[in-house]
Amino acid sequence: MDTDIQYAGEFFIKELNIYCSSGRVIDMKNILGLELYENMFSTSMSGNLVFLDVDNMTENGPIIGQEYMTLKIGTPGLEDFDIDAVFNIHKVSVKKGVSVSGETIVLSFITPELLRSSRTRVSKSYTDTISNIVEDVLRNVKYINTKKRLIVEPTAGIRKVICPNDHPLKFITNLATEAISNSGNQNFIFFESTKGLQFRSIDSILNSDTIADYSMGDVGLLDGKTVDVEKDFKRPMAMAITQNNDMLLNTVGGMLGSKIIKYNIYNKTYETVRYGYFADFEGNNTIDSNPVYSENPIDEYGNTIGSFSDARIHLHPVSTNGTTDVQHTNETSSYSYAPIGTSNKLLQRQSKFLELTSGISISVKVNGNTTIAVGETLNISVPIVGKQHEEGGAFDSYYSGKYVITTLKHQFDNATKRHTTEMKVTKDSVSTKLPIDSQSLEPFGGDGQKVEIT
């Protein structure tokens, strides 16, 4: 860590200007605070800026909710990782009532790409790889026209795609459901972080190197102003397990079992594909090597919670002849186009999304720095609570391990000069295989008859 930094959580505002519709530029460095939100399942960043208006800036600007805001903020010693972005202010609200000294104003802002997308539509046909189509929509001056860094994972297969007058960001989100990378990765998502606009597979995120290590048993001081800055950055200010598996939600949502009926409108046939959580687990790319559920039988027939594919059913029409899209390929075509791949990966995709949105989650608050963003991974060690019953260390093998950052909030408090980061981190698997009890049906007598337990 660079010696220029004095304490963990220190930050400095290099630039914070508001460009009003009147042409006036207001320097807003003397704010009360700023919050910046990132979400791995959202196409844009958002945030709030809070300041005390003692000079009637909202009228003199005027600040009316259609301004641009430039922000450049960073951590001392990490200048290469400054947050440097332009935002659109879209809402102005008064946090507290008018007083003699002024009023507290809250400005809500979003990234310009979201506003541009809401104002424009794509009505165009494409013949290209999905990754090239995504890049064209984002760079095209008629649509998003972004100058931001793009992280686009190359996709396989030339596709013929028609966008039927849809908003650009929604079109890209829909393309994510069909994309497959050159290496066979699927489960693509499209999101924005402080690192740029990203169109990539969840598999590539889960396989990425971790950026930090935290331990729930090593909670730091709230002020963060201690001598060892490097240790303070690694020490969480607060940490709690906020969410665990919901078997009912995961059953209804199709995470544990589902099926899809593919009806081929070309050769008038259909095929039923089933997904089972345990049966298909090894074929999925996961953080760890074991399921988060036990494969215990739940009835006298030996069924597990992953044996019921009728929990969620999909019907999807296809038009293929082997691996060729017959809608856009004929005998005179010079190229065979790849068919839509939704039906081949829908079941696994919906399971993966449920794993990351409703699975094992931990809320972490740490001394902030501008290198952390959603879509990255970190290690968390959770100590064993109470008496340790077995050999093997002082950490919980179920909750400890690698996590992916799914949501994040940067909070900059200008009064205390403190930057804190609150994250929700999630994992889709565990490092230790859960035990299987062959006598688990005994409370029901093995035949469905309830037996009183004394």
In total, how many domains does the chain have? 4
Rounded to the nearest angstrom, the gap between the alpha carbon of residue 158 and the centroid of all alpha carbons in its chain is 27
Dihedral angle, C-alpha 286, 253, 407, 280, nearest 10 °: 0
Burial of 294 (0-12, 13-18, 19+ CB in 10 A): middle
pLDDT tens readout for residues 183-223: 888 899 999 999 999 999 999 999 999 999 988 766 655 45
The answer as to whether 439 is a domain residue is no
- Domain boundary (330, 351, 372) is at 351
Domain match, 346 and 363 both: no
What single DSSP character describes residue 67? -
The answer as to whether 375 is a domain residue is yes
**Is it true that the peptide bond before 62 is cis, omega within 30 degrees of 0?**
yes
Domain match, 311 and 400 both: no
- Which of these, 187, 311, 315, lies nearest to 258 by C-alpha position? 311
Residue 1 has pLDDT above 50, yes or no: no
The pLDDT of residue 331: 55
Domain match, 90 and 101 both: yes
Domain match, 198 and 227 both: no
Domain match, 191 and 214 both: no
The answer as to whether 158 is a domain residue is yes
Inter-residue contact 396 to 37 (CB < 8 Å): no
Task: Give the Cα separation of 73 and 93 in Å (integer).
Answer: 24
- Domain boundary (56, 77, 112) is at 112
Task: Give the Cα separation of 230 and 32 in Å (integer).
Answer: 27
Domain match, 231 and 361 both: yes
The pLDDT of residue 389: 46
Residue percentage of the chain with pLDDT more than 90: 55
Domain match, 228 and 252 both: no
Residue 424 has pLDDT above 70, yes or no: yes
Q: What average pLDDT is seen over the chain?
A: 86
Domain match, 216 and 362 both: yes
Band (pLDDT 50/70/90 cuts) for residue 56 is: confident
pLDDT tens readout for residues 109-137: 999 999 999 999 999 999 999 999 999 99
The answer as to whether 436 is a domain residue is no
pLDDT tens readout for residues 385-410: 765 545 445 788 888 899 999 999 99
The pLDDT of residue 111: 97
What single DSSP character describes residue 236? -
pLDDT tens readout for residues 239-250: 888 878 889 999
Domain match, 94 and 181 both: no
Rounded to the nearest angstrom, the gap between the alpha carbon of residue 347 and the centroid of all alpha carbons in its chain is 19
First to last CA, the chain: 60
Can you read off the two tokens belonging to residue 317? 């029409």
Band (pLDDT 50/70/90 cuts) for residue 224 is: very low
Domain match, 151 and 280 both: no
The answer as to whether 2 is a domain residue is no
Q: What is the residue type of 130? A: I
Domain match, 234 and 369 both: yes
In SS3 terms, 387-422 reads as CCCCCCCCECCCCCEEEEEEEEEEEEECCCCEEEEE
Can you read off the two tokens belonging to residue 158? 């030339």
The pLDDT of residue 2: 47
The answer as to whether 441 is a domain residue is no
CATH code at position 412:
2.40.30.150
The pLDDT of residue 451: 53
CATH code at position 192:
3.55.50
In SS3 terms, 129-190 reads as CHHHHHHHHHHCCCCCCCCCCEEECCECCCEEEEEEEECHHHHHHHHHCCCCECCCCCCEEE
What integer is the mean pLDDT of 63-88? 93
Task: Give the Cα separation of 183 and 179 in Å (integer).
Answer: 12
Backbone phi and psi for residue 324, each to the nearest 5 degrees, phi listed first:
-110, 140
Q: What is the residue type of 299? A: D
Least confident interval from 319-323, 432-436, 445-449: 445-449
What integer is the mean pLDDT of 332-350? 67
Inter-residue contact 171 to 179 (CB < 8 Å): no
Domain match, 347 and 373 both: no
- Domain boundary (319, 351, 383) is at 351
The answer as to whether 152 is a domain residue is yes
Of the two residues 21 and 396, the one the predictor is more confident about is 21
Domain with 401 in it? 210-245+356-427
The pLDDT of residue 316: 81
Residue 50 has pLDDT above 80, yes or no: yes
The answer as to whether 445 is a domain residue is no
In this prediction the pTM is 0.86
Residue 382 has pLDDT above 90, yes or no: no
